[in-house]
């Protein structure tokens, strides 16, 4: 555990601000910071205008307002997932991206190869919902994105894949650009440390 007491206290003080944002793919519904601890960030129903998303070799980008965070991505193949149960199979989270830890706050582009996760029923044309689970010292936070998967999907050019760390930026919308890593592979510190659900629960203590 590397969360310092100082960081945790500072973040609790700014709890209604940044938390984390899912920048791409487009999240379900408007961002409401106070609702981020709820299922899908407070948005219970799938959107009609799904994002067409690569079945293989996609990415997602998040802006982490907390340093010292852990995140993973769960997936539902239910057409309109409305509860955490829809992201659970045999009592376990259906992970499409294992939990990993990062020390810095900032914007991160993280590879998401959905086909490689071998989720039953996921194929070309599937409607799925991904839910990013983020923990940065003030409890689990959630954002969802409703997708249609396609090998022909093209990611719009204004969804750039880069990493940009910032100082402790909770509540600040103007992170200082300190370093930029252009490639998907060059993920500062996002080392693919896989953790099970039990480890995640421990992190919340």
Query: For binding to Cu ion (CB under 5 A), which residues are involved?
Result: 19, 138
Nearer to Cu ion (CB atom), residue 96 or residue 133: 133
Nearer to Cu ion (CB atom), residue 86 or residue 165: 165
3-state secondary structure of 184: coil
**Do residues 96 and 197 make contact, with C-beta atoms less than 8 angstroms apart?**
no
CB of 99 to Cu ion, least distance (A): 18
Nearer to Cu ion (CB atom), residue 125 or residue 139: 139
The pairing of strands 69-76 and 58-64 is unpaired
CB of 17 to Cu ion, least distance (A): 7
CB of 171 to Cu ion, least distance (A): 9
Nearer to Cu ion (CB atom), residue 138 or residue 164: 138
| Owner of token pair 């997708």 | 147
Non-local (6+) Cβ contacts of 30 within 8 A are: none
Question: Taking CB positions, which residue lies at the least distance from Cu ion?
Answer: 19
CB of 77 to Cu ion, least distance (A): 30
**Do residues 78 and 86 make contact, with C-beta atoms less than 8 angstroms apart?**
yes
Long-range contacts made by residues 30-39, C-beta under 8 angstroms, separation at least 24? Answer: 31/143, 36/141, 36/142, 36/143, 37/139, 37/140, 37/141, 37/142, 38/142, 39/82, 39/83, 39/84, 39/142
CB of 151 to Cu ion, least distance (A): 36
Nearer to Cu ion (CB atom), residue 69 or residue 87: 69
């Amino acid at each position: 555990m590397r969360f310092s007491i100082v960081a945790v206290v500072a973040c609790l003080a700014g709890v209604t601000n940044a938390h984390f944002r899912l920048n791409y793919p487009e999240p379900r519904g408007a961002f409401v910071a106070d609702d981020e601890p709820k299922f899908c960030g407070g948005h219970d129903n799938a959107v009609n205008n799904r994002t067409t998303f690569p079945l293989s070799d996609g990415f997602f980008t998040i802006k982490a307002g907390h340093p010292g965070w852990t995140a993973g991505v769960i997936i539902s193949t239910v057409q309109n997932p409305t509860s955490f149960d829809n992201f659970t199979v045999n009592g376990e989270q259906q992970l499409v991206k294992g939990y990993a830890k990062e020390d810095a706050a900032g914007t991160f582009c993280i590879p998401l190869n959905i086909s490689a996760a071998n989720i039953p029923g996921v194929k070309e044309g599937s409607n799925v919902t991904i839910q990013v689970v983020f923990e940065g010292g003030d409890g689990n936070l959630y954002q969802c994105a409703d997708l249609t998967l396609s090998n022909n999907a093209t990611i719009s050019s204004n969804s750039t894949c880069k990493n940009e760390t910032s100082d402790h930026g909770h509540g600040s919308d103007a992170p200082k650009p300190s370093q930029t890593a252009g490639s998907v592979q060059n993920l500062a510190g996002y080392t693919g440390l896989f953790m099970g659900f039990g480890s995640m629960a421990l992190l919340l203590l």
